[in-house]
Chain A
Amino acid sequence: MEIVMAIVIGVLFMSATYLMLSKSLLRIIIGTGLLSHGAHLLILTMGGLKRGTVPLLGEEASAYTDPIPQALILTAIVISFGVTAFFLVLAYRAFKELGTDNTERLRGNEGND
């Protein structure tokens, strides 16, 4: 099972890298979304995919799945959600002000003195 997950995560990272190297800003943001999906799935996988019930004490089972990676993912999800929301609004504002979403044209050297 871990092998399958590793391959899927690898494909996610590959797509994310490809998208982040493109010129359109929106594609780059989609790439960051895929990258965080890959990272979150990786935590879940590296914590181990052994069989066991959900980590609720009421289940009274003999084995539970590891609760720590799930808590870590939950933290990482909300953080990447916040950053992505900020990034999207920034891209919107930059499109309004600079009039382009092409990263090739986001160059220059003049200062903000």
Chain B
Amino acid sequence: MINFLILPLLIPFLTAILLIFCSKNVVLQRWVAGISAFINVAVAFLLVQKVRNNGIQTLNLSSWEAPFGITLVSDMLSALLVLTTTIIAFACVIYSFKSIGIEREKYFYYPALNFMIVGVIGAFSTGDIFNLFVFFEVLLMSSYVLLVLGGTKIQLRETIKYILVNVISSALFVIAVAYLYSVVGTLNMAHISVRLSELGQSGIITVIAVLFLIIFGLKGGIFPLYFWLPGSYYAPPAPVMALFGALLTKVGVYAIMRTYTLFFIHDTGYTHQLLMILSIITIIVGVVGAIAFSDIKKIIIYNIIVAIGVILFGVSVMTPDSLAGSIFYLIHDMIIKSGLFLLIGIIIAITGTSHLRKFSGLIKRYPGLGWTFFIAALVLAGIPPFSGFVGKVLIVKGGFESEHYWGGAIILGSSLLVLFSVMKIFINGFWGTPQNFAGESKVPVRKLLIAPIILVTISVLYGAGSEFIFPYILQAAETLANPSIYIDAVLKEW
């Protein structure tokens, strides 16, 4: 069945449309959203196996030949990211049942969530640059709705800033596509890559490369363009925050990975050097933010920025090792960040505050929550048996082998400070004298814990079974390192 790779996109899309019609029946909505999210995980899993066995899957929509129609492409990287997205979506949906509240659920919470998943999966699996723009808009538009849904003062205020930043970056995306179209005259990514290698890297292409870095950097939150992220991600409730933190910035990171390994590979001395410098400063800024705040949401938000820097450093080095490390770390980070956001959502629901100095002694009454958080913190920092370790080792190895010693050293130092920042939450919040908390009796902690425990378990298995997973990662890295594999798969007759 050649249409298989469109299924992970189609399932949430049809679910979202269906859910619009039963918006007042909350129980039905929960069942439909939960079941469809679970089916999508299974479908995405089959897609990964299919790409593993049969190589890169392509689908020419309406059977138009490759450069003339829109092509959907599923190589190993995008298949793995689609699988990760569906797992996170499933966890956030079942967490939402007990936490988001009936009022939000009645006003199209689940349809908006499903449309956002459509946008994310579409952005991961498209092979056309303008189609990528459209899927970006799909996911951004639903993220505006999810961010403002509920209409509290802080949500209104932060949504204004978030929309403004994204309207500007979308206009820049249109401008960049216009420039690129006038240079190469095509929109299909594989075809653009062919045309660019025929042209060689002239000055205008370097300018377009930097323009793309600015656009995707605005979406992904790299150094001078991360300013909107701490405020905007602070506003929404926990499951929305988990979806944003895990998926939205990573779509920007994926787009940088794709364009910087497929399009702009002929003058790496300038473009990739720039990417490397920006990613290192991103790590430093993120670490400074993570240790400066004593607000648990802010600490995890700045840890997102650190991870983006680490992943992009691996991309900028461009050795097979560092690319494999980046992919491994990207998937690890998506899973564990959503897990951490869901866990601090529970902590905030219990204590009624996100400020570290205002509560202590949680482990006495909530040992399950405490130890899950402890394991999640170790996973995040990359302690050897867990999954953050392998990715970081490969990135640092790639950095040292290509003689970027400072970058490697800063990544190693950053892990230490990341560990300090999350352990600060554990020591101040979970140890100490037990207190009585405001929301204690109302919060169904056991039911809420299911979703983060699933995510942390997957994350631990991902680290422990890295031997088993590694062939998949290597296949993904091979496609990134040799764009000709991707081009041959898309433009078969050329």
Contacts and interface: CB of A to CB of B under 8 A. Distances in A.
B236 A112 contact: yes
Nearest to B179: A46
Contact of B164 (A20, A36, A48): A20
B142 to A, nearest CB: 11
A30 interface: no
Contact of B141 (A32, A82, A112): A82
A85 B410 CA distance: 45
Interface in B291-306: 295, 297
Contacts of B164: 20, 28, 32, 87
A42 B160 contact: no
A94 B153 CA distance: 8
B249 to A, nearest CB: 20
- Classify the secondary structure of A's interface with B: helix
Q: Kindly list the 10 A-B residue pairs having the minimum CB-CB distance in the complex, ordered from nearest.
A: A46-B182, A46-B178, A39-B174, A43-B178, A94-B156, A39-B171, A113-B348, A106-B157, A35-B171, A79-B137
A45 to B, nearest CB: 8
Given A32-B164, A86-B144, A98 B156 contact: yes
A7 interface: no
Interface string B160-191: 11011001101100110111011000010000
B432 interface: no
Given A82-B141, A112-B152, A39 B175 contact: yes
Contact of B134 (A20, A79, A109): A79
Interface residues of A, number: 41
B64 to A, nearest CB: 13
Interface residues of B, number: 44
Contact of B235 (A39, A94, A112): A112
A59 interface: no
B211 interface: no
B155 interface: yes
A25 B159 CA distance: 13
B174 A97 contact: no
A20 B182 contact: no
A87 B156 CA distance: 11
Interface in A87-113: 87, 90-91, 93-94, 97-98, 103, 106-113
A52 interface: no
A94 B144 contact: no
A48 to B, nearest CB: 7
Contacts of B155: 112
Contacts of B137: 79, 83
B7 interface: no
Contacts of B174: 36, 39-40, 42-43, 72, 76
A112 B348 CA distance: 10
Given A39-B171, A87-B167, A111 B154 contact: yes
Contacts of A38: 171
Contacts of A20: 164, 168
Contact of A98 (B150, B153, B161, B178): B153
Given A36-B171, A91-B160, A111 B297 contact: yes
A106 B163 CA distance: 14
Contact of A25 (B130, B160, B170, B237): B160
B353 interface: yes
B151 to A, nearest CB: 7
Contacts of A86: 141, 144-145, 163
Contacts of B349: 113
A106 B160 contact: yes
Contacts of A39: 171, 174-175, 178
Nearest to B163: A87
Nearest to A84: B167
A47 B182 contact: yes
A55 interface: no
A97 B353 CA distance: 23
